Amino acid sequence: MIDYEFIKARSLEEALDFLGNYEDVKAIAGGTDLIVDIRKENVRAKGFKYLLDISGLKELEFIKKERDHVVLGALSTHTSLIESPIIDQHFPLLASAAKTIGSPQIRNRGTIGGNINNASPAADLLPPLIALKAQVKLCSARGERTMSLEEFLAGPYKTNRQSDELMTEVHIPLVSEDYLGNFQKIGRRKAMNIARLNLAILLGINNGTIFDPRVVPGAATAYPMRFRKVEETVSGKDIKDIDPVEIGELASEEMISFTGVRWSTPYKRVALASLVKRALESIFREAKVDE
């Protein structure tokens, strides 16, 4: 039986103090995953004595543009990402992923910080955020540190957050207009859909030549990560010389090189290849229109 004391944080400072002074604290924001886990007595939600409610910390709910990056407060909801003109202008890849999450009710409560820290292998914001080279800022009463999201993720439902730390911000470096992205997702239906597979691809394209490619499938490996073999293969090539089908198959091979052959492999091998193909075709179409 999960049992806990409920603590409401009135300020960020109070939250960090509490995290620093007590052990076995679990932070709750939107609660869209956590409350389900608590009620189902899921092992992932066990082992905490205090539930620290940070949902009222308005200071962590913002999206603002700075000189060369955009800063998102960790409590920015999925709805706020979708409705933000800054995200729409600079990171449509992120907005298109956020739109596929759950339903309006979930998107109104669920937060970017929650999506990252829950670290589900199927989290929809992780592939686009990794592709965008997002950095996460962690604060504690001891100080603060920033690291790349890729480094922050440590495994399925695991992160490198220390127990006294709270994620306060996500930083995304601005990319030039040469970058085009695409998000793909498949599940069992269109709405209220947990990804069987998802995928973010972001490519720099200059006069038809690909540079700085970033290819990040989700729910394909233990946790979302860049597929560097695929990236190396397309880097420096002209989009006219790339066969999206071939690259899709290469991505599936790279997935299997990480996971081995699993029960889901016969499905995911074909499905991932298809998602990669669709994403590349979509980006290439857009690149041609831009020319």
Partner 1 sequence: MSKIEVNITVNGAKHRLEVGPKERLIDTLRERLHLTGTKEGCGVGECGACTVILDGEAVHSCLVLTAQVDGSEILTVEGLEEDGQLHPLQQAFIKHHAIQCGFCTPGMLMSAKVLLDKNPNPTREEIKTAIEGNLCRCTGYEQIIEAIESVAEYKSSKQD
Q: Which residues bind partner 1 (CB under 8 A)?
A: 3-6, 8, 28, 30-32, 35-36, 38-40, 51, 53, 55-56, 79, 102-106, 108-109, 190-192
Closest separation in Å from C-beta 249 to partner 1: 33
Q: How far is the CB of 98 from partner 1 (least distance, A)?
A: 13
Compute how many other C-beta atoms are within 10 angstroms of the C-beta atom of residue 264: 14
Distance of alpha carbon 180 from alpha carbon 282, whole angstroms: 10
| Shortest distance (Å) from residue 113 CB to partner 1 | 15
- What the block records as the tokens of 214 is 């970033």
Indicate the SS3 state at residue 111: strand
CB-nearer residue toward partner 1: 22 or 211: 22
CB of 2 to partner 1, least distance (A): 8
CA-derived radius of gyration, the chain: 19
First to last CA, the chain: 61
Nearer to partner 1, 20 or 56 (CB): 56
Does residue 94 contact residue 123 with C-beta atoms inside 8 Å?
A: no
Minimum CB separation of residue 73 from partner 1 in Å reads 17
Question: Which CB, 26 or 268, lies closer to partner 1?
Answer: 26
Dist CA 108 CA 85 (whole Å) = 17
CA distances from 172 to 69, 70, 98, 146, 184 (A): 5, 5, 15, 12, 20
Residue with Cβ nearer partner 1 (125 or 250):
125
Q: Which is nearer to partner 1, 85 or 143 (CB)?
A: 85
